[in-house]
Amino acid sequence: MTETPTTDRDGSDEGSDQLRIALLNAAYERDTTRKNFERELEAELVEFHCPSDELPETFEFDACVVTGSSASVYWDEPWIGALKAWVGEAVEAGLPFLGVCYGHQLLADVLGGRVEDMDEYEIGYRSIEHDGANRLLTGIDDRFTAFTTHSDRVARAPPGATVFARNEYGIHGFQQGRVFAVQFHPEYDATTAERVTAGKDGELEAARIRAVLEGIDAESYEAACEAKRLFDNFTEFVREKRNVRLEATDAAGAAVGPDASAGADAVATERLESPVDSSTSS
């Protein structure tokens, strides 16, 4: 695996409370996707452009985010296989994850769920419902608006995962341990929504594209901004996880030496991952 971050930062957060998050950018056109997540996440993002075969060489991050993409997780492409392998190892190592759209589907696939072609498109500002029990969507109305654009879906959530958001197209949010994933695009601004919709020329009928573009207005965008709250909820979770782990590791290290750190991390994980969800997937 090669690490080619697009920043010149050394990644050290010594003396700082700033989170360091690996942005696994799966979009073929990377710049807009990177900028959208940089705008929404209060953290140092170290970007890796996965279609260019960029992946971290280390798990020394506070968390990871897997972005959207026009690819499908079931495509037989080397970069997709490499990304799945790295993500699986990182999840096993205990890194928190947030997956968005393609990232939602990739995490479901890696964790043992099933992703399938919908044979149709969900696109535009849509209503989504959540159960009110998952901390990722704390502070967001039980029925909320978000921009969607996808023709694949998570048909079956991973074993042991909790599905917390849905609409008529299917699963829009699940959690398994430290992994959170959403199908919708909370990171989009109106310009991105317009560009992505216009780019469906040749995939969707012209009349449908026009209808979606007409629905991308100030009122709809303002309503969709409520869903951006999930980024703060995620970073709060990540910061808690990091702080509890460091405190437990320091305490164990002071008592019995460095070999106790693994056990301390397990204790920290148990404390942090108390049940917060109300329904399991089927």
Catalytic, 101? Answer: yes
E strand or H helix that includes residue 37: helix 30-40
Annotated catalytic residue, options 104, 130, 150, 185? 185
Catalytic, 150? Answer: no
Annotated catalytic residue, options 40, 54, 122, 187? 187
Token readout for 37 is 């997540």
Q: Which residues pair with 153 in a beta bridge?
A: 116
Alpha-carbon distances of 123 from 96, 114, 187, rounded to whole Å: 28, 21, 15
**How far is residue 154's CA from residue 135's CA, in Å, rounded to a whole number?**
21
**How far is residue 39's CA from residue 167's CA, in Å, rounded to a whole number?**
27
Catalytic, 49? Answer: no
The CA-to-CA distance between both ends of the chain, in Å, stands at 35
Annotated catalytic residue, options 40, 50, 101, 130? 101
Pure H helices in 51-204: 78-93, 102-110, 190-198
**How far is residue 135's CA from residue 278's CA, in Å, rounded to a whole number?**
11
Token readout for 224 is 């969709």
- From 146, 149, 152, 153, select the one nearest 199 (Cα to Cα): 149
What type of residue is 232?
D
Which residue numbers are catalytic? 101, 185, 187
